[in-house]
Structure 1
Amino acid sequence: MNKTERLLAIVMELQRSKLRTANELAEILGVSLRTIYRDVQALSESGVPIRGETGLGYSLMEGYFLPPVSFTVEEAVSLLLGADFIEKRFDPTFRASAYSSRRKIEAILSRPIREETHRIQGSIRLLQKNELVTKTREKVNLGIIREAMLEGKKILFTYHKRIAESDGSRITMRTVSPYGLAHDEQNGWLLLAYCDLREDIRHFKVSRISDLTVTSDTFQTPEHFNLQAYQPRDTRNIRVCALFNAEIADKVDEANNYYMETAEFKGDSYHVTFRVRQPEELLSWILGWGADVVVTEPESFKIRVREEIEKMKERY
């Protein structure tokens, strides 16, 4: 951090807090006390109204703030919530940058705006599922994947599939060219990559990736590939129908299953249709509704559900 950046950081820190001691400023900026004393003097000489109170610390004169940008309360809340989201969902590098950005945003807000922003922030909380897993495997993987994308390097990893292959295996090794990352509220972080094994673009849930390494092999993202405009091919060609107890229709809707296509009341039942790549993708979800659901088609899936129920009965 050069002197100009340091002087700006001191002003922003004093804007953010009513009072800061020289020791606190030195610790925050990672410099000596003597440097802080010199910087504060330089700021005072340049016209910044810094007050020094013996035994208490430094503060800015009431009403003074540095306004490189002005924000409304709503704008400030939006930016700070965005920084909070990044701190919770990204890898350590972006998390540190988000933390730094949040402190800078808070520093340039006038006191009334900052206090109102903090009040509103206190009434909003971003929740995340599987927080422990997200903090470990997913965040570590995100950092490695970002590094590989920046360097144009392929990655090698073990992938743990939710649905087993035809041979019963759920674990595969993949070498891919990472094209981009996307975040989905239901699935979390997804890696979009060209898979050498499948010779096509595939999607991988980042939390299901393990033993991730960056290889020495390079790749180039095709010029025609645009992550923002990319739409995956819909390969869900199998139709599954089920009748739910009408009393739990609202719960079925709230579950917002990715494969759900239509839903309507028929008599005293709630008729729902799904489109899937393979019925196994719905098995655990259907079983979770217990006696409140009956699969009507296809017949092969009805038999599969019945077989799973028989296995469950044996265990009990």
Structure 2
Amino acid sequence: MNKTDRMLAIVLELQGRQVARAEDLAARFETSVRTIYRDIQALSEAGVPITGTTGTGYSLMEGYFLPPIRFTIEEAVTLLIGTEFIEQRFDDDYRDRANVARKKIEVTLSDGIRSETSRIRKSLRLLSPGTQEAPSNERENLGKIRRALLDGRKIRFHYSKRMADSAGSRHSERTAAPYGLVLIEGAWMLVARCDLRQDIRHFRLSRMAELIELDERFELPEHFDLREYTPLDDRYLRVWLRFNHDIAEKVKESNYHYIEDMKEHQDGLDVALRVRQLDELLQWVLGWGAGVIVLEPESLRDRIRDEVHNMLKRY
């Protein structure tokens, strides 16, 4: 990195944090502390309001902001893909903001970079699992929950949960303190503390109805960090399947999230899975047709037989 690029990077680094020590900046840019001292002095002489405190570090004067001077083609494509993703998967408020942000990014690009960026973006396409865009009720719930998170208020909603070994579902009213939102395989999930269960629970936004923000406030526990949160693994049912050799590669490429282990041998590909309830696997197993057999448990073999028998009745 040359001196000019490094000095710009130092300013951007200081914009992103309150205080930075010379030693940290030197490590960040792989140079000496003495070089950082010279860069800081040059920036100060150029009019950048940097303040330094012995034993603490450097910081930018409050209110100072240096906008990005230019984007590379790769940086521009990355940012524009990000705005496209937000337009597809977030609520209407963020969709509108992403659209405005995309236009602002595009007008900062030179004609050459704008043309090349457009060419590259035309060769890329984002497709969400199952559908190209989030369901409308999911987007609506996402916006309401996001606002409740910012306001620190609880929410109330009706929740529909599919029942094991049944074609029906169970409906309940829940009041919960929203802790965070997670996008899993194209579907938004809410991590929240449920008043009914008195514990953290996960709720699929597409199964929520009549969601409202309450006046009741809550405080996020100090120890809770969504980025480090790992839910308890309650998948206790073990399943073994055997696939024919001719579809083994497709099974491997499926990246099915319940798969734990695979073993290929002369009789086929044996796949181990762990689930909460057998019905979670039913449609996936049936989708492979005669190319798969259930090795265990016997209860899933019986469930597959029953389903096939019911299918035959319809033909």
Q: What's the TM-score, normalizing by structure 1?
A: 0.73
Contact 1:83 1:99 in 2 (8 A): yes
Unaligned runs of 5+ in 2: 1-66
* Distance (Å, rounded) in 2 between the aligned partners of 1:275 and 1:135: 29
Aligned-partner Cα distance in 2 for 1:200–1:131: 32
**Post-superposition CA distance 1:3-30 (Å, at most 9, x none):** xxxxxxxxxxxxxxxxxxxxxxxxxxxx
Q: How far apart are the structure 2 equivalents of 1:233 and 1:97? A: 36
Q: Distance in 2 between matches of 1:102 and 1:135?
A: 23
What do residues 154-179 of structure 1 show as CA deviations (whole Å, max 9, x unaligned)? 11222232444889533333221110
Determine the structure 2 residue equivalent to 1:266: 265
1:235-291: per-residue Cα shift (whole Å, max 9, x none)? 112110011111111221222211111112122311111011122211121122222
Q: Is 1:314 aligned with 2:296?
A: no
| 1:217 paired residue number | 216
Task: Note the C-alpha offset of 1:90.
Answer: 0.8
> For the structure 1 residues 147 and 165, does the alpha-carbon distance in structure 2 shift closer, same or farther, using more than 3 Å as the test?
farther
Q: Quick one: distance in 2 between partners of 1:104 and 1:142?
A: 25
SS of 2:176's partner is strand
Please list, as runs of the form range in 1=range in 2, the aligned pairs for 1:165-244 lying within 5 A after superposition. Answer: 169-184=169-184, 186-244=185-243
Using the TM superposition, give the Cα deviation of residue 86 of structure 1 relative to its aligned residue in structure 2, in angstroms: 0.8
Contact 2:89 2:133 survives alignment (8 Å):
no
Q: Which amino acid aligns with 1:177?
A: A
How far apart are 1:72 and its partner, in Å? 0.7
Per the TM alignment, residue 78 of structure 1 is displaced from its structure 2 partner at its CA by: 0.4
Could you report, residue by residue, the CA deviation over 1:137-194 in whole angstroms, capped at 9, with x for unpaired residues? 111111011111111121122223244488953333322111001112x242111111
Q: Partner letter of residue 180 of structure 2?
A: G
Q: Residue 32 of structure 1 aligns with which residue?
A: none
- Structure 1 letter corresponding to 2:77: V
The match for 1:72 is 72
**Cα pair 1:163 1:281 within 8 Å, conserved:** no
Which deviates further from its counterpart, 88-97 or 195-204?
Answer: 195-204
- Secondary structure of the corresponding residue to residue 198 of structure 1: coil
Distance between the aligned counterparts of 2:186 and 2:161, measured in 1? 13
Q: Where does residue 111 of structure 2 map in the other structure?
A: 111
Q: Residue type matched to 2:301 in 1?
A: K
Runs of 5+ unmatched residues, structure 1: 1-66
The answer as to whether partners of 2:165 and 2:279 remain within 8 angstroms in 1 is no
**Residue 253 (structure 2) aligns with:** 254
Preserved contact between residue 160 and residue 169 of structure 2 (Cα < 8 Å):
no
CA distance in 1, matches of 2:96, 2:124: 22
**Which shifted more, 287-296 or 220-229?**
287-296
Deviation at 1:123, TM superposition (A): 1.2
Cα pair 1:68 1:108 within 8 Å, conserved? no
Q: How does 1:25-174 map to 2 (within 5 A)?
A: 68-131=68-131, 134-164=134-164, 169-174=169-174
- Tell me: CA distance 1:206–1:165, structure 2 relative to 1, closer, same or farther (3 Å): farther
Give 3-state SS (helix, strand or coil) of 2:139's partner.
helix
Deviations 1:78-100 (A, max 9, x none): 01111111111111111111111
Q: Which residue of 2 aligns with 1:278?
A: 277
Matched with 1:29 is: none
In structure 2, relative to structure 1, the CA distance for the partners of 1:131 and 1:273 (3 Å cut) is closer
Write the distance in 2 (CA, Å) between the matches of 1:171 and 1:111. Answer: 55
- Cα distance in structure 1, aligned partners of 2:162 and 2:266: 35
- 2-structure distance, mates of 1:218, 1:305: 48
Deviation at 1:133, TM superposition (A): 6.8
List, as ranges, runs of 4+ consecutive aligned residues in structure 1 with deviation greater than 6 Å. none
Provide the C-alpha distance between the structure 1 equivalents of 2:78 and 2:145, rounded to a whole number of angstroms. 27
Taking every aligned residue pair, what percent have the same amino acid on both sides?
A: 50
Residues of 2 paired with 1:131 and 1:238: CA distance? Answer: 30
Q: Counterparts of 1:296 and 1:168 in 2: how far apart (Å)?
A: 28
- Report the 3-state secondary structure (helix = DSSP H, G, I; strand = E; otherwise coil) of the residue aligned with 2:219: coil
Q: Which amino acid aligns with 1:300?
A: S
Aligned amino acid, residue 122 of structure 1: K
